Chain A
Amino acid sequence: SAVISQKPSRDICQRGTSLTIQCQVDSQVTMMFWYRQQPGQSLTLIATANQGSEATYESGFVIDKFPISRPNLTFSTLTVSNMSPEDSSIYLCSVESLRTPKGNEQFFGPGTRLTVL
């Protein structure tokens, strides 16, 4: 499976500031996704990070609030902008790898736990 790392692993931020989360994969992958997991809840897809083009956002998520970059096939960033306490969540990077024997499996990074005061 693909090995995914995220930075930072956790952070505590002040209201109104922004935080950029990095996702690094150890191999080239076709698809990269960003999910949000609020405390004790399920995972909700924020957007699909497209290499070389603008991300595709799900309903309820907008680029101004969650700008995403994907400059190459192994790296992506998610920025949480103008944060409020409601943004306190775990943010997870996910990739789809074609290198596994079963093909097209999706793997998750360890997550970034964000607390907004």
Chain B
Amino acid sequence: QQQVKQSPQSLIVQKGGISIINCAYENTAFDYFPWYQQFPGKGPALLIAIRPDVSEKKEGRFTISFNKSAKQFSLHIMDSQPGDSATYFCAARKGSARQLTFGSGTQLTVLP
């Protein structure tokens, strides 16, 4: 059972554009939603995270929008740069369980 569904699988954006990646979850017990960025040959790096008590969180060019009623959350990358080209994973965690459930990943390419 895929508990976190991520789309699109791949995304191509022009430099300066906005990249949007979406995730949907099924388990209402999830209470922590991080996004990870992974470059080839590297481990995932924590980018930004949100808890369901807020609808939006912004850190620099990265924003998470969270819709609790729809059980959806998304990552927005403003002013996308070629250096943002990487694979992005959304994830979710529930309470005391501690371990993360990951989405399937989105390969982002930002064209110069």
Knowing A92-B43, A111-B42, say if A42 contacts B98 (CB, 8 Å).
no
B89 contacts the other chain (CB 8 A): yes
Given contacts A42-B105, A43-B89, contact A110 B42 (CB under 8 A): yes
**Chain B, 72-112, contact with A by CB distance < 8 Å: what is the 0/1 string?**
00000000000000000100010000111111110000000
Q: Is A43 within 8 A of B46, CB to CB?
A: no
What residues of A have a CB within 8 angstroms of the CB of B99 in the complex?
Answer: 33, 45, 48, 58
Asked if B12 is at the interface of the complex by the 8 Å CB criterion, the answer is no
B contact residues, total (Cβ < 8 Å) = 20
The reply to whether B44 and A43 form a contact with Cβ atoms under 8 Å apart is yes
Interface positions, chain A 1-41, Cβ under 8 Å from B, are 1, 4, 31, 33, 41
Count of residues in A whose CB is under 8 Å from the partner chain: 24
Q: Cβ of B45 < 8 Å from any Cβ of A?
A: yes
Specify which chain A residues have a CB less than 8 angstroms from the CB of B104 in the assembled complex. Answer: 41-42
Interface residue from A42, A96, A102 paired with B102 (Cβ < 8 Å): A42
**CB within 8 Å of A: which of B10-39?**
32, 34, 36
Closest CB in chain B relative to A73 CB, distance in Å: 15
Is the beta-carbon distance between A108 and B43 smaller than 8 angstroms? yes
The answer to whether A67 has its CB under 8 Å from any CB of chain B is no
Most buried by A among B49, B99, B103: B99
- Report the separation of the CA atoms of residues A72 and B101 in the bound assembly, to the nearest whole angstrom: 26
Minimum Cβ distance to chain B for residue A5 (Å): 11
Q: Which of A31, A42, A109, A113 contacts B89 (CB 8 A)?
A: A42
Q: How far is the CB of B30 from chain A (nearest CB, A)?
A: 14
For the complex of A and B, the 6 pairs showing the least CB-CB separation, nearest first, are A108-B43, A43-B102, A42-B102, A108-B44, A110-B43, A111-B43
Q: Which residues of A contact B (CB under 8 A)?
A: 1, 4, 31, 33, 41-45, 48, 58, 92, 94, 96, 102, 104-111, 113
